[in-house]
Amino acid sequence: MPDSAVARSHRSLLSRINLEIREHAPVPQQVALLAAGLLLGLLVSALILVSVGVSVSALLNEFVISIVTSSRSMGNVLDRAAPLVIVGLSAAIAFKTRFWNIGIEGQVIFGAIGATLVANADIGPPELRLFTMGAAAMLAGMIWIALPLYLRLRLRINEIISTLLMNYIALNFLLHLLYGPWKDPVTAFPNSKIYEHVERLGSTGWLNISTSVAIAMVFVVIVAWIFAASRFGFLMKFVYANPAMARAIGVNVAVLTILAVLASGALSGLAGFAISAGIDNRMTQSFFVGYGFSGILIGFLARNNPIAVVFFAFLISALMVAGQSLQIFYQIPFSIVQLIQATIVICVAASEFLIRHRIRFVR
């Protein structure tokens, strides 16, 4: 049908909406649209909170004022942001090779198990204890992602489902340890015995910044360098854009995927260490709750950009800390945090639609 005929057939309508796909929206416009989506998400979230009975002034107080003015709240936000940054990086690295690592939660659990194993058995000299724990956590995270990785590369088994199933297996293994061999010998509560002082990630002694935050920042720099400047990162861009093409011009896609996915598992494991040694000082039943999904959402929101990961991790962390005080002071279940995160992602995704499409009203 020629264009004129289409135009004629629509003449009766006053105007119609036409969608055009655009490859490259101007960057300032992209940022503006994303920011608008983010704001909309926060606004909707605020409406949800008000609807469950939080007053507007309380909302401002918990989310903005107390975090900005109280150094303790700020410290809490930073401490929680550290593992979130690390899981966000983990998601970003895996996504860059088109491997959906939905099993971050399981790897976080195994990371903490690895670190706690070292702490319980007092492996290595005390001066190197934290280092050993971190290395064990990374190794455990890698081990936990190795099977889905193998299954995907060898048997083409969908990694979304296999990594997710591994989460449930990891959780049951954790519960087995905490209700069985690793139960706290002093209190008989289902958590591991408290870490000794040499096994805790304390403050760096500089501006009250904790060691876990410092570790997270180091990995942000490393990952940013890998993505932006290394040969590995360059090849990853190739694989992300078009795996078949990358293979055709001689990039070893399998090796690249293996390296990226193992790095992702290692980072998730490290996040488990950062939570157990940086926040709780022991391994508990639910220390990992939400970190897996949050990591995926942070990676998505940040569009796999390590610097943006820091921003969104900070945002989600503030949300988690505020969610905790809402739980204590307003009896609002902590799950509201999940609801808000999902709302933000939905709104940002809606704004992405406007970045990728131009809407025209045609007469």
Partner 1 sequence: MEFLINWLSNVPQSAVPFALAALGLIVCERSGVLNLGAEGYLLVGANAGAGAMLTTGSPMFAFVLAALAGGALSLLFALLVINLRMNQVISGLTIVFFAQGLTSLIAARNGWTSRSFSGLDQLDFGLLTDIPVLGPILFNQDAIVYLTVALFAGAVFVFKRTEIGLQIRAVGENPAAADSTGVSVSLYRYLAVVSGAMLIGLAGGYLSVGVSKIWVDDMAGGRGWIAIALMIFARWQFWPALAGAVLFGCIEALIPRVAAVGLQVPQYFVLMLPYVATLCAMVWVSLDRTRHSGVPAALGEPYVREERR
Stretch that binds partner 1, among 77-85, 113-121, 186-194, 290-298 (CB under 8 A): 290-298
Q: Is residue 151 involved in binding partner 1 (CB under 8 A)?
A: yes
Q: Is 21 helix (H, G, I), strand (E, B) or coil?
A: strand
Among 160, 209, 217, 224, binds partner 1 (CB under 8 A): 160
Q: How far is 307 from 359, CA to CA, in rounded Å?
A: 31
DSSP secondary structure of 198-210: GGS--B-SSTT-B
Residue type for 79, please?
A: D
Positive or negative, the CA dihedral 280, 295, 349, 339 is negative
Q: Residues 155, 188, 207, 244: which binds partner 1 (CB under 8 A)?
A: 155
| Strand 357-362 to 16-21 pairing | antiparallel
Q: Which of 19, 35, 50, 56 binds partner 1 (CB under 8 A)?
A: 19
Segment near partner 1 (CB under 8 A); pick from 56-64, 137-145, 229-237, 332-340: 332-340
Helices (H), 52-156: 56-60, 66-69, 71-96, 104-121, 129-155
Should residue 300 be labelled a site residue for partner 1 when binding is judged by CB under 8 A?
Answer: yes
56 versus 175: smaller Cβ distance to partner 1: 175
Residue 6 binding partner 1, by CB under 8 A: yes
User: Which residues have a Cβ under 8 Å from the Cβ of 203 and sit 6 or more positions away?
Assistant: 209, 210, 211
Mask of contacts with partner 1, 78-117, x by CB under 8 A? ----------------------x-x---------------
Over the window 45 to 84, marking each residue x when it contacts partner 1 by CB under 8 A and - when it does not, the resulting string is -------x--------------------------------
Out of 32, 42, 173, 243, point to the residue binding partner 1 (CB under 8 A): 173
Three-state SS letters, 63-87: HHHHHHHCHHHHHHHHHHHHHHHHH
As measured in angstroms, the least distance from the Cβ of 172 to partner 1 is 4
C-alpha to C-alpha distance for 12 and 173, rounded to whole angstroms: 66
Specify whether the CB–CB gap between 291 and 104 falls below 8 A. yes
Under the criterion CB under 8 A, does residue 157 sit at the interface with partner 1? yes
Structure tokens that stand for 322 in this block: 């505020």
Residue 190 or 202 having the CB closest to partner 1: 190
Size of the site for partner 1 (CB under 8 A): 52
- Helix 104-121, helix 253-275: angle, nearest 10: 60
Binding site for partner 1 (CB under 8 A): 3, 6, 18-21, 52, 100, 102, 151, 155-158, 160-162, 164-166, 168-169, 172-173, 175-176, 179-180, 293, 296-297, 300, 332-333, 335-343, 345-346, 349-350, 352-353, 356, 360, 362
